[in-house]
Amino acid sequence: MGTVVARTCVACGAEPEDPAALWCPSCGPEGTLDLSYDLEAAGAALRRDLLDPATPLDSWRFRALLPVADEGPRPPLRVGPTPLLLVPAERAPAGLQRLWVKDEGRNPTASFKDRATQVAVASALERGVPGLLCASTGNAATSLAGFCAASGLRAVILVPASAPRPKLAQLLCYGAELIPVAGTYDDAFDLSLAAAPQLGLDLRSTGVNPILGEGKKTAALELMEQLGWEPPEAISVSVGDGCIISGLYKGLADLYGAGMIPRIPRLIGVQAAGSDALTQAWERGDDAPTAISAKTRADSISVDLPRDGRKALRAVRESKGCFVRVPDEDLLKAQLTLARCSGVFSEPSGAASLAGILALVERGELDPAAPVVALTTGSGLKDTDSALEAGGGVPPAIEPSLDALLARLQQQTRG
């Protein structure tokens, strides 16, 4: 098990005395906590475990850097390794020579969020907590519902009453207790902070419980292992609340501290132009974001006030990366480009990672010959309405005759 040696507030640097505190008592939920490990010991344990052919290929092989017991109970669903695909240079967009796609849609409930959920559920199982609660309308809620179903735990999900119905279908099938709240996502979020301790449930709302970032960092650990511990020039990922990019940074910083990688690659945070609170803060040189009124088709990254904003801004600053905003039409275009060059079908917010890379290459801020990784956060099947629109819609049916088929194919070739 990774021995956590300190829990430090990201806003004021204090170390809360209560080991169960989810955030800094002085700063409130904005004062999210960093977990620090004995990195020398973790590096030695990692090298030993990864070289042992008997070590199973799940996320728990990185347990020396995770806040879970060595042999504790685990959720039965396996997370990772997700595929890392190299797009052949002749098919890659914008002349990219070494574009890698890390396909996180291939996790058990088809999104990156399974990485955070697996550690949160393992911790709940270890401590005998009967279930978890979260406020979310999308992938985090679905992920929690699936892992709780597999582990025999209670899952309570608070959603704003206006939540899009397709996002709810999957979690209803998993048997989660779905509670619509008459209000906004932010209302549901604040209610979740009060409700979890009252109900004796662990909190899985994104961006506050530090254990979630520890789960998210397994993507960085796995990625570096897949690349033979040779960091790429940059890693690009979509950003809403900011907890994926900060989790990736935490994983890279831990690996660097443990002597496993020689440097930390640049992190590129990609935001929809209509939901760019962190890009604005980064341009102003601020340490924390201010709330905006977000509006974008990419609902997974539509956020007024990023809940893990401080850590996300730090991740980009300390990795010498950048934030970049892209209009919605470029997100949908990138969804097609990604699917057609790599075979990876991603939701629009996941394809933002590629849209950001393309924007930076066009501006001359990223060398197309350098190795770059686009991390896609969820399957395109999560949002079929957007996918149908991006793909140009289904053409009308033809008569079942060879003549009609040949005529249609000729017409489409000309079109």
Size of the residue set binding Zn ion (CB under 5 A): 8
Question: Which residues make Cβ contacts (< 8 Å) with residue 69, sequence separation at least 6?
Answer: 1, 126
CA atoms within 13 A on the CB side of 256: 15
Tokens of 91: 């098919």
CA atoms within 13 A on the CB side of 355: 29
Least distance (Å) between residue 17 CB and Zn ion: 13
Q: Which is nearer to Zn ion, 14 or 50 (CB)?
A: 14
Q: Which is nearer to Zn ion, 243 or 357 (CB)?
A: 243
Least distance (Å) between residue 167 CB and Zn ion: 33
Least Cα distance to 94 among 240, 279, 236, 228 occurs for 236
Q: Which is nearer to Zn ion, 15 or 230 (CB)?
A: 15
Least distance (Å) between residue 30 CB and Zn ion: 8
Least distance (Å) between residue 22 CB and Zn ion: 12
Q: Which is nearer to Zn ion, 32 or 118 (CB)?
A: 32
Question: Which residues make Cβ contacts (< 8 Å) with residue 142, sequence separation at least 6?
Answer: 109, 110, 111, 113, 167, 170, 171, 174
Q: Which is nearer to Zn ion, 286 or 389 (CB)?
A: 286
Check whether the bond before 75 is cis (ω within 30° of 0).
no
Least distance (Å) between residue 123 CB and Zn ion: 23
Q: Which is nearer to Zn ion, 177 or 286 (CB)?
A: 286
Q: Under a CB-based contact definition with an 8 Å cutoff, are residues 3 and 44 in contact?
A: no
Long-range CB contact pairs, 185-189, < 8 A, 24+? 185/135, 185/137, 185/160, 186/304, 186/305, 187/160, 188/135, 188/158, 188/159, 188/160, 189/135, 189/307
Q: Which is nearer to Zn ion, 33 or 390 (CB)?
A: 33
Least distance (Å) between residue 66 CB and Zn ion: 24
- Interaction residues for Zn ion, span 28-57 (CB under 5 A): 31
Counting contacts by CB under 5 A, is residue 288 touching Zn ion?
A: no
Least Cα distance to 235 among 257, 214, 266 occurs for 266
Q: Which is nearer to Zn ion, 31 or 242 (CB)?
A: 31
Q: Which is nearer to Zn ion, 18 or 71 (CB)?
A: 18
Instruction: Give every strand in the sheet of 322-326, ordered side by side.
Output: 84-87, 98-103, 371-376, 234-238, 266-272, 322-326
Least distance (Å) between residue 12 CB and Zn ion: 3
Binding mask 2-31 toward Zn ion (x if CB under 5 A, else -) reads: -------x-xx-x---------x-xx---x
Binding mask 114-133 toward Zn ion (x if CB under 5 A, else -) reads: --------------------
Q: Which is nearer to Zn ion, 31 or 81 (CB)?
A: 31
Question: Which residues make Cβ contacts (< 8 Å) with residue 376, sequence separation at least 6?
Answer: 101, 102, 103, 104, 105, 338, 344, 346, 350, 351, 353, 354
Q: Name the residue with tokens 């002349």.
A: 95
Q: Under a CB-based contact definition with an 8 Å cutoff, are residues 240 and 108 in contact?
A: no
Binding mask 165-204 toward Zn ion (x if CB under 5 A, else -) reads: ----------------------------------------
Least distance (Å) between residue 11 CB and Zn ion: 5
Least distance (Å) between residue 14 CB and Zn ion: 5
Least distance (Å) between residue 13 CB and Zn ion: 7
Binding footprint of Zn ion on the chain (CB under 5 A): 9, 11-12, 14, 24, 26-27, 31
